[in-house]
Each structure stands twice: as structure tokens, then as C-alpha cells.
Amino acid sequence: MTKVTHLSQLDPNGTYSYADYLTWQLEESVELIKGKIMAMSPAPNRKHQSVSGNLFLHLGNYFKHKPCEVFAAPFDAKLYDRRKSLLKNGEAFSVVQPDLCVICDKDKLTEQGCDGAPDWIIEVLSPGNSRKEVRLKFDLYEESGVTEYWLVFPYEQIVQQFVLDDHGKYQLRALYPGNEIAIPHLFPDLQIDLNDVFAE
């Protein structure tokens, strides 16, 4: 079997599984979304890293000595498409590296990352994020059962908070401007001062 070390060795129109992903030894960072290879944006810029780091500090302090854990990228979250996975004996066709994710079910944690949907995912957008990428991940997180999803816009200083409803569809629960306190649906006693998050 040929060792895969470069993206050019893979078929951009092919469909790959998590099992395939584990065999690759790529220099480039990629994610798999519904079996399709998505090359990740180049290294995030300073503003992205500052916002992501500030959020991680808030969450890390809050979850210390609590049953849930927060992880920052690069950290693999293996997600399941309910229909496709059933047809393929539980095989996963999506693996992503969210900027931040919170996992409360310890049984999902493996040496490789998270096997199944995290409870809460936060993605900090960069200028390089395409609308298609944002839409694909939104649909993927919704379909895989990520209960709460935040989209953070560093330049606009806005946080969009989505929460799954009883039908498994995301509803926009809040739109927080950068001078407000953001409160996660799953952890209502966690108050995040967005002034601190967006501070330079």
C-alpha cells in the first residue's frame, strides 16, 4: 500500500472514511466532511489566535474540577452521519478540528480525540473561511447532534449562538455583540465577558 504523504495523491472527488484519514501522513492539515477532503486554512492569524486563546482561558478556568473538558485545536472530533454510518457498519466519514470543543461524556474520549459529537463547539472565523465551509460545518454539526454551536466573528466582534431544538435543528438563540456577557445554553452559570474575549 502506497504511503500517502501529499494531498496530490488523493482524489479530490473521492469519498474517504475516518479509517482512511488515520493512515495518511500529510504535511497539510485537512478535515473530512461527509467523506470529502477539506484542506484547512493556512495558520490562523494573530487576531484569530488571540480570540480563541481568550475563550480557552475562560472555559479552562470554568471547567477545572468539573466533569466536562475543553479542548483546543488541533484536536480531532470524529462525527457520524446517522444514515451513512448505519449503512457502513458504524464507519465515520467526517473528522473535524474545531477551534474549541467541550465534551462531557468521558466515554467519547480516545487517544485520537473525540469519538462522537462534542456537547459544545466554538469556531472562530478567519478571513480565509469560505461561506461554503461555514455552511458545511453548520449542517454537519447539526446533523451529528452537537447540542450547542457558537460562531465567533473576531473582526465584527459578534458571537452567534445556535442550539439544537427538539427536532434536531439549530435555532439562533442569541446574537451577542462584543460588549456583552455571553451565556452558554448548556452552562448557564458560565458568564463570558466578550470585552475580555475580543481585547487586543
This prediction has a pTM of: 0.90
Choose from 6-10, 39-43, 182-186 the range with maximum mean pLDDT: 182-186
Q: How far is CA 88 from the centre of its chain?
A: 24
Segment 14-61, tens digit of pLDDT: 989 888 898 898 888 888 888 888 877 666 788 999 999 999 999 999
pLDDT class for 152, splitting at 50, 70, 90?
A: very high
Q: What is the pLDDT of residue 86?
A: 44
Higher pLDDT, 87 or 64: 64
Higher pLDDT, 148 or 22: 148
Segment 71-96, tens digit of pLDDT: 999 999 999 876 554 445 567 889 99
Residue 108 above 50 pLDDT? yes
Spatial separation of the C-alpha atoms in residues 12 and 100, rounded to whole Å: 27
The domains of the chain, with CATH numbers, are: 7-38 (no CATH), 43-197 (3.90.1570.10)
Q: Are strands 120-124 and 170-177 parallel, antiparallel or unpaired?
A: unpaired
Spatial separation of the C-alpha atoms in residues 180 and 183, rounded to whole Å: 10
Q: What is the pLDDT of residue 113?
A: 94
Closest CA to 129 of 145, 102, 151: 151
